[in-house]
């Protein structure tokens, strides 16, 4: 490893550790994972007693390869983005995710002060993050860390997360064409429901895995 890469890895590690420390002070159960593989093993272990597992449509979670092992273990997987579903079927799955045993999701941004910042088009993902499921596991790759306040995190969501996600989901928004947020009034606008989790919600068991790898958008 070159000295540049070695120093960058050290810097990322320290930032991840700071985020874990801050999340802990804010009441979250937070763990540092050196690799996505380490986070994957944690998720599979925590899923042991869960019968129903909801997925928030996270690329971070999808990239970790947990779906097939969970399916092979006989879990009922609630994936609203599965191909071939009608709108009614997707909405029914979203509603069931609100009361599942385990909900798996990423986050659009996490601040060094330990805030989780997210923006949704429908609100099903963020709703499942803070109330309903028996347990929630949030995966935060190091690329989601914001060295600023909640407003800076919201700018990360609009400038870095939303445009490529709009393109991925084939939404007809200006940012899906230009790659830049225009604070649009499009009927398919993604940025409709924005949440800031400053502290752990009182009755929700949330685990945040801060991973020293780039994951998701």
Cα separation, 96 vs 133, in Å, equals: 9
CB 153 within 8 A of CB 146: yes
DSSP 161: I
Q: CA angle at residue 26 from 22 to 29, to 5 degrees?
A: 85
pLDDT for residue 5 is more than 90 = no
Stretch 64-84: mean pLDDT, rounded?
Answer: 97
Give the position of tokens 């272990």. Answer: 45
Computed over every residue of the chain, the mean pLDDT equals 97
DSSP-H helix ranges across the chain: 3-25, 36-46, 59-62, 67-72, 87-97, 124-130, 150-156, 162-168, 174-178
Tokens read off for 44 = 């599979």
**pLDDT score at 1:** 80
Q: Tens digits of per-residue pLDDT, 80-102?
A: 999 999 999 999 999 999 999 99
Give the position of tokens 């909900």. Answer: 103
How does DSSP assign 24-74, residue by residue?
A: HHTT-EEEEESSHHHHHHHHHHHTTT-SEEEE---HHHHTTT-HHHHHHTT
| Local confidence band at 15 (pLDDT 50, 70, 90 cut-offs) | very high
**pLDDT score at 32:** 98
Stretch 149-175: mean pLDDT, rounded?
Answer: 95
All domains in the chain, ordered by first residue: 22-146+198-211 (3.40.50.10420)
Cα separation, 182 vs 159, in Å, equals: 9
CB 207 within 8 A of CB 131: no
Whole-model pTM: value is 0.96
Q: Tens digits of per-residue pLDDT, 51-62?
A: 999 999 999 999
Burial of 12 (C-beta count, 10 Å sphere; 0-12/13-18/19+) = middle
């Amino acid at each position: 490893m070159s000295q540049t890469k070695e120093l960058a890895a050290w810097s990322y590690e320290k930032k991840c550790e700071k985020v874990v420390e801050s999340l802990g002070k804010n009441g979250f159960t937070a763990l540092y994972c050196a690799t996505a593989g380490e986070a994957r093993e944690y998720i599979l272990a925590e899923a042991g007693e869960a019968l129903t597992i909801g997925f928030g449509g996270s690329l971070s979670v999808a990239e970790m390869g947990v779906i097939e092992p969970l399916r092979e273990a006989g879990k009922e997987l609630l994936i609203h983005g599965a191909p071939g579903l009608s709108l009614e079927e997707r909405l029914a799955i979203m509603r069931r995710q609100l009361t599942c045993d385990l909900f798996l999701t990423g986050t659009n941004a996490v601040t060094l002060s330990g805030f989780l910042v997210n923006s949704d088009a429908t609100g099903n993902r963020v709703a499942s993050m803070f109330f309903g499921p028996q347990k929630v596991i949030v995966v935060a790759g190091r690329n989601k860390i914001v060295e600023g306040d909640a407003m800076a995190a919201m700018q990360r969501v609009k400038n870095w997360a939303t445009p490529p996600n709009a393109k991925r989901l084939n939404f007809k928004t200006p940012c899906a064409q230009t790659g830049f947020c225009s604070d649009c009034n499009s009927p398919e606008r993604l940025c409709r429901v924005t949440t800031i989790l400053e502290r752990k919600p009182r009755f929700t068991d949330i685990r945040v895995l801060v991973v020293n790898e780039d994951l998701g958008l």
